[in-house]
Structure 1
C-alpha cells in the first residue's frame, strides 16, 4: 500500500466527522447539565444553611420568629414526601419560648429522623 492510499484510508467522510462532532456536542451538553445542577444544588444548600443559621443564632427574636413562623406555614405545603417532612419535624413543631430544636438523630434501620432539644 502506497502513501497515497494510506492518506485516503485515514481520511474520514464528512458524514463521519459530523457524527463524531455531534457525539462530542452531546457529551459536552451532558457535562454542562451536570455542572448546572451542581451549582443549583450548592445554591439551595447555602440558602438553607443561611436560614438555619439565622434561626439558631439570630439575636433578633422577632426576625428569627418570623422566619420560623413562615417556615411552619409554608413547609407543609411544599413538602410532599413523608421522609422530607421528617427532616423538618423540628421546624414544623411549635417551638418552646426562647429556642429552637436543632439536634437530629437518624435511625439507620428505618431512616426516620427524630429531633430533640440539645
Structure 2
C-alpha cells in the first residue's frame, strides 16, 4: 500500500473539514428553526389562553403595532390576519374605556 503524499492528506482533511462544517451548519439551522417554532407556539398559546388576560392583551397590542412592518409578503400577512386585526372584544373594551357606549 502506497503512502499518501502530504498534499493528498491535506486534501482529505480539507474535505473532512468541509463535511463537518456542513453538518454543523445544518444542526445550527435546525436549532434555529426549533427555537422559532417553540417561540411561536408559546406566543400563540398566550394569545389564546384565558389565564393571562393582561399579558395576552399587551402581547396582542405589541404584535399589531410591530408585526406589520416586519411582514413584507402578502402571503405572510394573510397568515397573521387573525392576530393583526383587533378582535371585537378588544374594540369594545377600548371604546368602553374611552367612554363610548
Q: Which has the larger radius of gyration?
A: 1
Deviation sequence 1:44-93 (CA, Å, 0-9, x none): 11011001001101323221110000000011011111111111010011
Q: How many pairs does the alignment contain?
A: 90
Structure 1: segments with no counterpart, 5+ residues = 1-6, 99-118
- Correspondent of 1:60 among 34, 52, 62: 52
Classify the secondary structure of the residue corresponding to 1:80. Answer: coil
Q: Higher strand share goes to which structure?
A: 1
TM-score normalised per structure 1: 0.72
Structure 2: segments with no counterpart, 5+ residues = 91-101
The RMSD of aligned alpha carbons is 1.2
- Correspondent of 1:74 among 58, 66, 87: 66
Misfit runs of 4+, over 6 Å: none
